[in-house]
Structure 1
Amino acid sequence: MSNPHIIENSATTIDLSIEQIDVKGQYIELAAPVHLSGQLNVSELLTQYSIALREGLESAVLQIGVDEAGRGPLLGSVNVASAILPAAWSGLIENQPLKDTPLSILTDSKQLSEKKRDVLYPLVQHHAIGYIVADVPAAVIDQINILQATMLGMRLCTEVLLKTIAPHLITDKSEPSNMQVQILFDGNRCPDLDEAMLIKAGIKTSAIDCQAWVKGDARHTSIAAASILAKVSRDKTMYALDAKHPKYGIAKHKGYPTRAHMETIEAYGVLPEHRRSFAPVRKVLEK
């Protein structure tokens, strides 16, 4: 995995493609690259967490929310995002930690109108301490199945964000760090992280607490922030595909198996971006 490009100011820009992955010591060549993009606000990270880490305060626990968008469609990528909100903003939605903040309307992206999601998207990017969005293409979904593709996106978002954070909060790898991380995954399972890579980055696996939150995007602000990033970024790719293939009405159905979508596949054929392992697409190809 290559290192993110670092800008010499308060921000680290993350922009990389993953072409192979290490699964329990075995390298797997992906059918297509997984692209990751995002940013870390280094000065805000240090302001909020470096003192807390040195003094061993409870606020030194870093919460990362992770969510996905696009598991059900027949077309395009599944998008996964991870997000770190300011410490005071990170918590249960019912406790209203976002009250009187620019993200006050933030909740599960599925409960918000597209207009509200589009308003929140740049606000989350601006105010998050760090975030990453992974675009896992249809070819990878067909290669390893949609569940494993989603788990891969969640794993990569988490690992790259942690690897980007570590040099700023762990300055002396010979000394034990007080850094504690809670990773909150939307859903009922957590991905297997590359422990060897994290240890090499200076992060003890005992310091990482992975939690699966069913309907977490409606329960925790950090997961809700990730859901906005994942959903809007995926919608953007769908609009780009719509401009490329206007006959398919992609802007309306976003790749989901609507009747109109199925009729266009029957009429015009399967696109390179369609998921060939999904039964409705496979049936059309077999005709």
Structure 2
Amino acid sequence: MSKLSCSENSFTPIDIFIEQVDIKGQYIQLAAPIQLSGQLNISELLALYPINEASDQSLIQIGIDEAGRGPLLGSVNVAAAILPATWSGLIEEQPLLSTPLSILTDSKQLSEKKRDILYPLVQQNAVGHIVADIPAAVIDQVNILQATMLGMRLCAEVLLRSVAKYLNAMDKRHFEVLIDGNRCPDLDYGALALSGIERSAIDCQAWVKGDARHTSIAAASILAKVSRDKTMYALDAQYPEYGIAKHKGYPTRAHMEAVATLGVLPEHRRSFAPVRKALES
């Protein structure tokens, strides 16, 4: 039996600021806080992922993707999503047919209009979702690859721990953590075990172009991309002369001309060569 009755409708908000991280037993003070926000519908999760009586197990897929590794400006955003069990699977097998997410695929293959339509639909229909905002200062501190992997790790761990709060030792649920890319983050399996999820219950898989293969990764790609675009539009309102709404931080000619003329913003990634050169000139 689970700790929460499936008849209850429980939306658990996730809103966390992380200022320190434990990396291989060493605590690192981050140059700026990482914010993670989202929600978990635990009653839906328990209802849609029932224990299989034959195997006494249930498999939950968590898709994870990022947006914003290449830009010179702003955060990199990482997102994770758990879709209903019957919606989770390979896109080519069309598990989303006749669902509100029927047009969902890799966010890069969709127009901004379609992404904006899908964004609230993913939030409303996902069993659980979370977005991590890793600011430029952290990217400069640890480099973009490590910042992205850290965001993926935190999204997975926070979502797993949030689920674990509502399970007990009799709930033998297993998790597939599906990562878009060619490597998995180094999860803190010790901390997860203390939360009740053993290492043997977690299968982390890296999928190159996974956002075009798995529905859960595609859902995460929408959350990551649109949430990052929202921060770019907010920066555009703050610094309209930089044209951020058009280039979204990427090193376009217009962006580089604005930096040369107006200077480097606090939100620029100083470790990136074009920004570093602008600071030195």
TM-score interval for Structure 1 and Structure 2 normalised by the shorter chain = over 0.9
Q: Whole-Å Cα distance in 2 between the matches of residues 224 and 209 of structure 1?
A: 19
In structure 2, the residue matched to 1:245 is 239
In structure 1, the residue matched to 2:82 is 84
- TM superposition shift of 1:53: 5.5
The answer on whether the counterparts of 1:53 and 1:178 sit within 8 Å (CA) in structure 2 is no
Q: In the alignment, does 2:224 pair up with 1:230?
A: yes
- TM superposition shift of 1:52: 1.4
In structure 2, the residue matched to 1:258 is 252
Q: Name structure 1 gaps, 5 residues minimum.
A: 1-7
Q: Deviations over 1:170-198 (max 9, x none)?
A: 223xx5x5211000000000000011110
The answer on whether the counterparts of 2:38 and 2:130 sit within 8 Å (CA) in structure 1 is yes
The answer on whether the counterparts of 2:9 and 2:44 sit within 8 Å (CA) in structure 1 is no
Instruction: Specify whether residues 53 and 200 from structure 1 end up closer, same or farther in structure 2 by C-alpha distance, changes over 3 A only.
Output: farther
Instruction: Specify whether residues 54 and 199 from structure 1 end up closer, same or farther in structure 2 by C-alpha distance, changes over 3 A only.
Output: farther
Identity of aligned residues (%): 74
Q: Deviations over 1:235-255 (max 9, x none)?
A: 000000000000000000000
- TM superposition shift of 1:46: 1.3
Give 4+ residue runs of structure 1 displaced > 4 Å after superposition: none
Task: Provide the secondary structure at the position in 2 that maps to 1:118.
Answer: helix
In structure 1, the residue matched to 2:93 is 95
Q: Given the two structures, how large is their TM-score scaled by the length of structure 2?
A: 0.95
Q: In the alignment, does 2:43 pair up with 1:46?
A: no
Q: How does 1:149-160 map to 2 (within 5 A)?
A: 149-160=147-158
In structure 2, the residue matched to 1:202 is 196
Q: In the alignment, does 2:8 pair up with 1:11?
A: no
In structure 1, the residue matched to 2:4 is none
Q: What do you get for the CA RMSD once the two structures are aligned? A: 1.2
Q: Whole-Å Cα distance in 1 between the matches of residues 52 and 141 of structure 2?
A: 42
Q: Whole-Å Cα distance in 1 between the matches of residues 97 and 269 of structure 2?
A: 41
Aligned AA for 2:146?
Q
Q: Deviations over 1:137-161 (max 9, x none)?
A: 0000000000000000000000000
In structure 2, the residue matched to 1:276 is 270
The answer on whether the counterparts of 2:51 and 2:173 sit within 8 Å (CA) in structure 1 is no
Task: Provide the secondary structure at the position in 2 that maps to 1:257.
Answer: coil
The answer on whether the counterparts of 1:54 and 1:178 sit within 8 Å (CA) in structure 2 is no
- TM superposition shift of 1:102: 0.3
The answer on whether the counterparts of 1:53 and 1:179 sit within 8 Å (CA) in structure 2 is no
Q: How many residues were matched structurally?
A: 274
The answer on whether the counterparts of 2:268 and 2:275 sit within 8 Å (CA) in structure 1 is yes
Q: Whole-Å Cα distance in 1 between the matches of residues 227 and 99 of structure 2?
A: 23
In structure 2, the residue matched to 1:3 is none
Q: Deviations over 1:27-80 (max 9, x none)?
A: 00000000000000111011122x31566356x100000000000000000000
Task: Provide the secondary structure at the position in 2 that maps to 1:199.
Answer: helix
In structure 2, the residue matched to 1:5 is none
Match of 1:162 among 156, 160, 175: 160
Q: Given the two structures, how large is their TM-score scaled by the length of structure 1?
A: 0.93
Task: Provide the secondary structure at the position in 2 that maps to 1:16.
Answer: strand
